[in-house]
Chain A
Amino acid sequence: MSDILLRVVVGGLTVSAFALFGDLLRPKSFAGLLSAAPSVAIATLILSLMKEGSQYARIEARSMILGAVAFICYGTVVSQFLIRRKYAVIPVTSVAMVVWLAGAFGLWFAMVRIAG
């Protein structure tokens, strides 16, 4: 329980700090870089390094590559639907999570298959 609480506090503070800095940046497209800042990753990796060791964190980072590729697809799809089609923000950003899930797990399954 204390581990989860620590993750909540550290993760929350890291994300808030990056988000606050993002509020100051212009134009909006540049501020968007902070929306994909490695805030959650930094918090999680620090905790993993301290508790589980560097090999554990290394494996997490390797999988993170696949998640990040899926994030690129997610951001591209969301921007197209918002800018070109002018759909509402909440439905588009929520439904597009399917793109991330399909991309991340699809790449992960492919990697597992290739690795044998």
Chain B
Amino acid sequence: MKAHIDTSELGQSRWYEHLVRFAFGGTVTALAGVIAKRYGPEVGGLFLAFPAIFPAAATLIAKHEEKKEGRENTRAVRATVAAGLDAIGAAFGAVGLVIFAIVVWQGLPSYSMGTVLPSAMLAWAVTSVLCWQLWEMLRARARDKRSHDSKSKQVAPVHIDQPTNRRMR
């Protein structure tokens, strides 16, 4: 499936869901600063890649999927799978985070913040999207192979000369 922007579900999120994300994001940023101040930037830096926002995000995704049409158990499974797919995307995004961090680590202090941070953001975006594309490509190939295998099994060979009726043997 090709990546695209879909604005149809833009109004689906409620105001308190935006507030939850704001609160989580703000809390984690403040916490990272407090930990760095108390234990030093080496420990504080770990929390720059802390997945604190992910549980809230995944829960919201599952909640939105559950509201869609369908039987209750189907909706529940769909909600869990949707959150799981989000987690796969997050894993690829985290690969991009590694590259982001490397660019910042190597870029500073030789280059200014205005150069390093946008470059790091671009590196994150390119790496994450490439990882995702590769995964989609491998998935599509696996799907095609499964489809081809099941089609070839359905077509059973017919031998006209062999009698199928026992009496005829």
Contact = CB atoms under 8 A, between A and B. Distances in A.
- Mostly, the B contact residues are helix
A65 B102 contact: yes
B1 to A, nearest CB: 5
Interface in B18-41: 18, 21-30, 32-34, 36, 40-41
A68 B121 contact: no
Contacts of B18: 16, 19-20
Q: How large is the interface on A (under 10, 10 to 19, 20 to 34, 35 or more residues)?
A: 35 or more
B43 A108 contact: yes
A107 B96 CA distance: 18
B21 A75 contact: no
Contacts of A114: none
Interface residues of B, number: 84
Nearest to B63: A89
Given A58-B105, A71-B90, A23 B121 contact: no
B140 interface: no
B104 to A, nearest CB: 4
Contacts of A79: 84-85, 87-88, 91
Given A36-B94, A75-B93, 11 more contacts: A4-B33, A12-B22, A27-B3, A29-B135, A36-B96, A58-B109, A59-B42, A64-B97, A67-B46, A71-B50, A89-B59
24 contacts: A11-B30, A13-B22, A16-B22, A20-B18, A28-B85, A29-B86, A31-B86, A32-B85, A35-B90, A38-B120, A40-B53, A44-B33, A55-B108, A60-B48, A62-B42, A64-B100, A65-B101, A68-B49, A70-B46, A71-B50, A71-B90, A89-B55, A100-B51, A105-B46
